[in-house]
Chains A and B, each alone.
Chain A
Amino acid sequence: MLEAPALQPRAALVISGLRGWYGDFQALFGIDFHVGEGEVVVLVGRNGAGKSTILRAIMGLLARHTGKVMLYGQNAGALRSSERARLGFGYCPEERAIFASLTVAENLALPQLLGPNVMSDDEIFELFPNLKARARHLGGQLSGGEQQMLAIARILRSGARTLLLDEPTEGLAPIIIRQIEDAITALKRRGYTILLVEQNLAFALRLADRVIAIENGLVGDQCQVGCFESTERRLSRYLAL
């Protein structure tokens, strides 16, 4: 018999019918999409469209949400967020949320280690050289860029293969953005599955395989990133004020 086409990667993450609320206010109205294994998917959209909320709901951090969150065929939709992390999600929040009272080394040591994919300290310091010299410092003493690197490094240390990154470039200097981009490119090459929320469209399109536009808590459009120009034009509708 014919084998499945090798070009179509198997889905790592499948989201279906995801709805979410902040108190009585509904923010997500049934989101459906998937992320293939090893694929980098970027969520774009205006402020308040629900991009970060999607990541929070996937991670189980939204107090009230319904719908399916399948990671490699396992439904994580009803689990506590600690159990979702143990399934293999790595979440890097928008505010970075470095533990200010823990040292860099302790921040890195904190996550639960998940089997064979754990990245060693050496590999992490190779990816983010800045962190090495800072290992004994408290998280609260790091610069914004270092905090962002630590926030990404922290989830790599856990061995998570599916990364949820919320605006990793926000508020950072161009040179730091460059470093973050290099790191994410390296991760992509290593086969990590990445779901990225990003306002910086140029940055996003350099990394992304596919872009999903979110509008008013729904998926507005999605397209493969082929020609940079056409994609940008197509997406501008969802970003323009």
Chain B
Amino acid sequence: MDLLLSYLTIGLVNGSFYAMLCLGLALIFGLLNILNMAHGVFYMMGAFVAWAAVTRLGIGYLPALGAAALGIGAFGMLVERLLLRRTYDLDPLYGFMLTFGMATAIQGAFQVEFGSTGLPFETPDWLSGLIDLGFTLFPAYRLWVVFVALAVCLGLWAVIDRTKAGATLRAASENGVIASALGVRIPVVMTATFGIGAMLAGLAGALAAPIYQVSPLMGSDILLVVFAIIVIGGMGSIGGTILAAYCLALIESVTLAVYPQATNFMTFAFMCIVLSIRPQGLFGIPVLRDHSFAGLSLPAVSDVGAERLSQMTRIAVITIIIMALAILPKLLYPIFLIKIFCFAILATSFNFLLGFAGIISFGQAALYGTAAYVTAYALKQWSAPPEVGILAGVAAATLLGLVMGALAIRRRGIYQAMITLAVAQMVYFVFVQASFTHGEDGLQNVPRGVLFGLIDLRNDLSVYALTAIAFCAVFFGLRRLLCSQLGMMFVAVRDDERRALSLGHDAALLKLLAFGIASCCSGFAGALSAVAFQLATLSGAHWHLSGEAVLMSLIGGIGTLTGPLAGAAVLVAMEHFLSPFGAWVLVLQGSIFMICVLAFRDGLVPRVASIWTKVVRDRLLPSFVAAEPVKEVGNS
């Protein structure tokens, strides 16, 4: 009994951190409609500011706490003013991606400076020791954490609920336009709110510093737990969010006492249960503000190339593709190209989902990783032929994808992103715990085998051919699909679900089908990677890979079919050529992400296409054609 109570106190402490992070995230999301992916980084930076203030500047613990809160708050305001403000007129997806890029870059920069191991942070003397609560001995510092967190959260709740400033914030969240017409300066409210959210995260990080070690990675995994809590709580009310945070932390701690292996898993499992019973979350109001992709310029079906190519052009295009594919391995390493194709298939699955089904999935890596593990396991343990292994991997990923999809399609937009992220994280934790994955080592030295009993895949070139053909199959298969009636039904549901419903289409089934198709593609990419690189590791299932898939789509052009290939090529090349710089790759990747969102939103492929139409088709070709008759007149 005492043991359980002491576990519950752990839950209370974790709940305090969750509550502070959730509250900030929910405030920001409510007003700015941005899912702040940099929140975990703010938390981490808060810990570092406090650490630096104590160890480098030698100031006391309390001033360091204040410095962390105010410093991160100020940093947040700066970020909002300089960067986020530019995305308000766009789809919320861009704010999400911008903060994701920022989080990657900042985390990378801290890793460059401090490495990935934790730095110790001393508990201040006056808070060290134990306090006897009667039933258990409680470390004084943890009690202090709970006290501060509760005071801050409840205080903020009171301010928002009771004061005029709070009413202004609530009004601006509900209807910013009308609040503005009543004289409320929305930009100021936005900056202040973002600053307060960042401040809470910074304070939470500084409070956490003595309990956990100060490390650049400390914010990365807690963020996903916080997303899950927000989905569970439902962001309907501030009190509900705080309550959900503490409840979830308590559930987590009970699990820790009963079955420690499932601790990380528990919150996400709970999220799945809540979502299937109450999609709006425990305290959520039904259909709050799930956005549709109004601000995102998504392609019409005709953009995919529904226009019929003439027989001659078609033959020419196919010939060029075959020749290019044949020449490429002479110019570049086959392994390099294989990686591009694998990632391109992965990114295509994300891009297909977002562009043509209006579903945003941030969990594609889980499917990729699952397929990689299953294929690798089949090849290695059962000595299955590669085609069977790949098939098994794809089947596993598709099944998992259907489960993930069934949960994700219950909400739209940013919520969907959170749900897929959380489900993916749950899968990741299963892989971390399960024995067959061999933990950090992963499955290595997977035999490639002989495809169909004919093609020896031990040769890199034949694997290259396999992945190239696989990409072409996915590309042309999806292209064909989108030109079909089913493709149009996907697009109809994407554009207006209710209208599609009123026309008799089963929107949920269509969305699930789209998710299944995309999962199949992601799984294909993962299975191929297991064969090609002869390994399956945790990094293949980590959400960072999902982020890379989004980045590839963004660089190449969201909602295009060729974009992911271009994006994958850029990203793989970057990783390849920048690998000597170590952790700087993250900084660079994050910065490119941000630049893409801010200045280069339409992506490479649409950009090139518009240059092609403007310069070549409209200017060069007409003058070329016009020049011909003149010549002929001269000849005759």
> Which residues from chain A sit less than 8 Å from chain B, CB to CB?
59-61, 80-82, 84-86, 91, 93, 97, 99-102, 106-107, 109-112, 114, 154-155, 158
Contacts and interface: CB of A to CB of B under 8 A. Distances in A.
A59 B179 CA distance: 12
B183 A82 contact: yes
17 contacts: A81-B177, A82-B183, A85-B180, A85-B183, A97-B178, A99-B174, A99-B178, A102-B167, A106-B171, A109-B167, A110-B164, A110-B171, A110-B179, A111-B183, A111-B184, A158-B182, A158-B183
A86 B178 CA distance: 14
B181 interface: yes
B180 A80 contact: yes
B180 A111 contact: no
Contacts of A112: 182-184
Name which of A110, A112, A154, A158 has the most chain B CB atoms within 10 A of its CB. Answer: A110
Interface of B: 164, 167-168, 170-171, 174-175, 177-186
A93 B182 contact: no
Given A93-B178, A109-B164, A82 B171 contact: no
Contacts of A84: 181
Contacts of A81: 177, 180-181
Contacts of B167: 102, 106, 109-110
A40 B180 CA distance: 25
Given A86-B183, A110-B179, 4 more contacts: A82-B180, A91-B181, A101-B170, A110-B171
Nearest to B189: A82
B180 A110 contact: no
A101 B179 CA distance: 13
Among B168, B174, B178, chain A packs the most CB atoms within 10 A around the CB of B178
Contact of A155 (B170, B179, B182): B182
Contact of B171 (A59, A86, A99): A99
Nearest to B162: A106
A226 B182 CA distance: 34
Nearest to B177: A61
Contacts of A85: 180-183
Q: Which of B181, B185, B186 has the most CB of A within 10 A?
A: B181
Contacts of B183: 82, 85-86, 111-112, 114, 158
A93 B181 contact: yes
A111 B185 CA distance: 11
A110 B184 contact: yes
Contacts of A91: 181-182
Please name the 5 residue pairs, one residue from A and one from B, whose CB atoms are nearest each other, closest first.
A112-B183, A85-B183, A97-B178, A106-B167, A111-B182
The interface centre, meaning the residue of A82, A111, A112 with most chain B CB atoms within 10 A of its CB, is A82
B181 A99 contact: no
Contacts of B170: 99, 101-102, 106
A118 to B, nearest CB: 12
A59 B178 CA distance: 10
Contacts of A60: 181
Contact of A99 (B164, B175, B180, B186): B175
A127 to B, nearest CB: 18
A102 B173 CA distance: 11
Contacts of B184: 82, 110-112
Given A97-B175, A99-B175, A110 B168 contact: yes
Contacts of B181: 59-61, 81-82, 84-85, 91, 93
Nearest to B178: A97
A30 B186 CA distance: 29
User: Considering residues B182, B184, B185, which has the most beta carbons from chain A within 10 angstroms of its beta carbon?
Assistant: B182
Nearest to A95: B178
B185 A82 contact: yes
A97 B179 CA distance: 9
- Residue in A101, A102, A158 with the greatest tally of chain B CB atoms within 10 Å: A101
A155 B181 CA distance: 10
B545 to A, nearest CB: 38
B289 to A, nearest CB: 12
A155 B170 CA distance: 18
Contacts of B180: 61, 80-82, 85
Contacts of A110: 164, 167-168, 171, 179, 182, 184
B389 to A, nearest CB: 52
B183 to A, nearest CB: 3
B89 to A, nearest CB: 9
A82 B88 CA distance: 17
A157 to B, nearest CB: 9
B537 to A, nearest CB: 47
A158 B184 CA distance: 11
A100 B179 contact: no
A231 to B, nearest CB: 31
Contacts of B171: 99, 102, 106-107, 110
Contacts of A158: 182-183
A157 B68 CA distance: 41
A81 B175 CA distance: 14
Contacts of A102: 167, 170-171, 174
Given A82-B186, A85-B180, A110-B179, A101 B168 contact: no
A93 B177 CA distance: 11
Nearest to A86: B183
Contacts of A93: 178, 181
A100 B182 CA distance: 15
A97 B177 CA distance: 10
A59 B177 CA distance: 10
A158 B186 CA distance: 17
A100 B177 CA distance: 14
B30 to A, nearest CB: 10
Nearest to A87: B183
B167 to A, nearest CB: 4
Contacts of B164: 106, 109-110
B182 A154 contact: yes
A114 B183 CA distance: 10
Nearest to B184: A82
A100 B168 CA distance: 13
A91 B182 CA distance: 7
A102 B163 CA distance: 11
Contacts of B174: 99-102
A45 to B, nearest CB: 22
A91 B168 CA distance: 17
A134 B186 CA distance: 28
